[in-house]
Chains A and B, each alone.
Chain A
């Protein structure tokens, strides 16, 4: 009982801080706007005297309260045969503490606002109008009291819901899983579907077809986004080899991306060199240059232990960016203004610059890179990389020349980035130093980590989630990077292997050839 109250108190404090934080960074208002879109109640008549924006704020805060209550109560198992009382109490306490914190802050902020203190000088989001909306038409102390009561009630309700929805104390997710396992998966046709490779290929085929047809219908803006996601898939697959397979943390991956992009830009653009080479000629040059740089950088650096490597590569990435930005080199690199009018590909005299054709070009590159990665991963080389990641010392004793293998991983990863960079510069018809800041490197690392280290579908999923999803949630743009940071932490805490972890190939037993018998034979020994 004591434990339970302590847990609920802690949950309440955490959620209280989160609620206050969301209010201070202005997310409450943004969430209200999103709710307005979702509920389509922008011009609805006021309810309980609240105009839609205020109503939506209340709904949003209430949702957090429900969540707080649910998680405050979810730790409580049945206490003395009375699951409901314990749940309501646990949720209520969590909600009360949350409400207390929120209410106090609201009352304070509201009072200051009424006295005409310009808080937005220090806390950027606390504009008078925003504070006024959060007061819900009450005087500040009243607003505080309202939040206290409202969140306590929401918390208790949330606590109750954990028992109500979960069918006798079980969590809903578990209930669904059990149902699927007991009722659905035993059906003969479901089993035969799961076994049949035809189904698998059909699903992949339909997915692939869908993706391939998408650019035709997506329109210009979305095609640009799809192209960006595609380029991030390229970068992710390249870094996947370095980080995911070989286990080398490269935080300066953007350097190779920049080299590919600058190769494309400087060799094909009219300024600053007026070389005007052909796109198709420059693509392999960009790839090669990036790979060679990878080897040159890697040779001294790859002898270092993991975290030194991270910081040195980070430094290298910054060096490349600072150099490309520097005025001293602007005759060569175009300096801070960058390089405009980068050439696009022409295809037998047909200019396919930007638009749909370019998206297909990126798709083609992605497929090529997936093909190469797949072949490498399932070869002697790929195994050596993974062995190094697992235990470098032992892999040396197994006859692997780790330095050569690391250089190879570095160079191939760099080559993919070079390809990505060349395509990126050409697609944008521009390249400049600010395209290559540290965030790009970190984004790509995140794509690999969030997706699943060493897993090709994982990288694709990671790029979609981290680069595609934010485009769909434009209203949340301000919060994107912050959420991204939090997401990295949460992923590491909750699922360090990523969204789609890499799966091990079955090799001992040929596919489908009497799986059961061999396993039994093994056990019989």
Chain B
């Protein structure tokens, strides 16, 4: 072995800026944490608990949507811009089902209140089914013919599809915000009461349902991707479409199924959104869609566990962030986007860091 001389590493100016920004941000965050927790506490434990609960619930919805982005991105290397609108469609599916259940008389009152379990299940099934179907047709109409086109082309098509879906929904259903008709036992805002610091903190039923159900769905999806034939095919296609096709995998079929699965998850997220937060309208999917994409990037796009972690993290940051930084809640979206920018600058591979294969030179 020849003696290796270490070449003089040139420190690039960008790395200096990176370091300075990083240290600055971290320092400020620590300072703020110290201030709000120890220095001059603004909120009591009970308020922090409320923030945490809200953040977890929101985060699990984001996570569910983020998985859809990650699956599609993993396979097609494209941002399915209309994914948030698939969630909106799912939310409407659940809405109409619950409205119908409310209007059918049964057991002294109506179907929804008499058999809440069945009604909610039906709402989920309807939302999931319609969203999965929309996902399938979205891919078939707006993306499949563009396979192999330059990257910008399918992205623009996706933006177009998103605008179309939002406005078609507005024309069909009207612009007003609609209240989800939850069954009586799942009334929004009601829940188990915890007493922290002598103050009541409500753990809402709808929130618990959201968190538990989305965890179950995520585990199921993870199993699907890791353990089943379809999952294996999906991973193969995401590695290399040509080779996968040569190995006898029906690439188009796998892509279709990916869109169906990601649509289904978005649909479930939409119904959860409706049950927990209540308001549904044509634009309801837009912001969660963008946030969920942020979450997917945070976690490392293409990675399913990354999307889950990213979603939960983003939900928590969004609900705790304004309090920690001492800014108004109006600016919570600024925090979400700010985090996205910072993550992309410092760790473009995301939290889980499934290294994105560098483009072959």
In the complex, whether A205 has a CB less than 8 A from a CB of chain B is: no
Given contacts A311-B340, A482-B163, A485-B164, contact A492 B154 (CB under 8 A): yes
Main secondary structure of the interface of A (DSSP, over half): helix
Q: How far is the CA of A304 from the CA of B348 in the complex (A)?
A: 8
B156 touches A445 (CB 8 A): yes
In the complex, whether A5 has a CB less than 8 A from a CB of chain B is: no
B294 touches A315 (CB 8 A): yes
Interface residues of B in 271-300 (CB under 8 A from A): 290, 293-294, 297
Chain B residue at minimum C-beta to C-beta distance from A307: B79
Give the residues in chain A near B340, CB-CB below 8 Å.
Answer: 311-312, 315
Chain A 483-514 per-residue mask, 1 if CB under 8 angstroms from chain B, else 0: 01111111111001000000000000000000
Which one, B153, B159, B163, B167, contacts A496 given CB within 8 A?
B153
Chain B residue at minimum C-beta to C-beta distance from A123: B172
A124 touches B172 (CB 8 A): yes
Q: How far is the CA of A261 from the CA of B141 in the complex (A)?
A: 39
Give the residues in chain B near A312, CB-CB below 8 Å.
Answer: 340-341, 344
Report the stretch among A96-104, A192-200, A317-325 that lies at the interface. Answer: A317-325
Q: How far is the CA of A24 from the CA of B172 in the complex (A)?
A: 6
B307 CB, nearest partner CB in chain A, Å? 15
In the complex, whether A158 has a CB less than 8 A from a CB of chain B is: no
Give the residues in chain A near B156, CB-CB below 8 Å.
Answer: 445-446, 449, 488, 491-492
Which one, A308, A393, A493, contacts B348 given CB within 8 A?
A308
Given contacts A311-B293, A315-B341, A319-B337, contact A486 B164 (CB under 8 A): yes
Which one, B161, B168, B327, contacts A328 given CB within 8 A?
B327
Q: How far is the CA of A319 from the CA of B334 in the complex (A)?
A: 5
A306 touches B161 (CB 8 A): no
What's the interface size class on A, roughly? 35 or more
B37 CB, nearest partner CB in chain A, Å? 22
Q: How far is the CA of A315 from the CA of B159 in the complex (A)?
A: 15
In the complex, whether A113 has a CB less than 8 A from a CB of chain B is: no
In the complex, whether A247 has a CB less than 8 A from a CB of chain B is: yes
Q: How far is the CA of A449 from the CA of B150 in the complex (A)?
A: 13
B333 touches A25 (CB 8 A): no
A353 CB, nearest partner CB in chain B, Å? 34
A37 CB, nearest partner CB in chain B, Å? 21
In the complex, whether B328 has a CB less than 8 A from a CB of chain A is: yes
Give the residues in chain B near A328, CB-CB below 8 Å.
Answer: 327-328, 330-331
Chain B 160-198 per-residue mask, 1 if CB under 8 angstroms from chain A, else 0: 111111111011111100000000000000000000000
Interface centre among A21, A305, A307, A316 (most CB of B within 10 A): A307
Which one, A124, A301, A482, contacts B173 given CB within 8 A?
A124
B160 touches A485 (CB 8 A): yes
In the complex, whether B6 has a CB less than 8 A from a CB of chain A is: no
B167 touches A485 (CB 8 A): yes
B328 touches A326 (CB 8 A): yes
In the complex, whether B46 has a CB less than 8 A from a CB of chain A is: no
Give the residues in chain A near B172, CB-CB below 8 Å.
Answer: 24-25, 123-125
Interface centre among B167, B328, B345, B361 (most CB of A within 10 A): B167
Given contacts A306-B151, A493-B146, 17 further A-B contacts (CB under 8 A): A123-B173, A124-B174, A124-B175, A249-B155, A301-B341, A304-B348, A311-B290, A311-B340, A319-B334, A449-B156, A485-B160, A485-B165, A488-B161, A489-B160, A492-B146, A496-B149, A496-B153
User: Could you list some 24 contacts between A and B, CB below 8 A?
Assistant: A25-B171, A124-B171, A124-B173, A300-B17, A305-B359, A307-B155, A311-B290, A318-B333, A319-B337, A322-B331, A325-B330, A327-B330, A445-B159, A481-B167, A482-B167, A485-B162, A485-B164, A488-B156, A489-B142, A489-B157, A491-B156, A492-B157, A492-B160, A496-B149
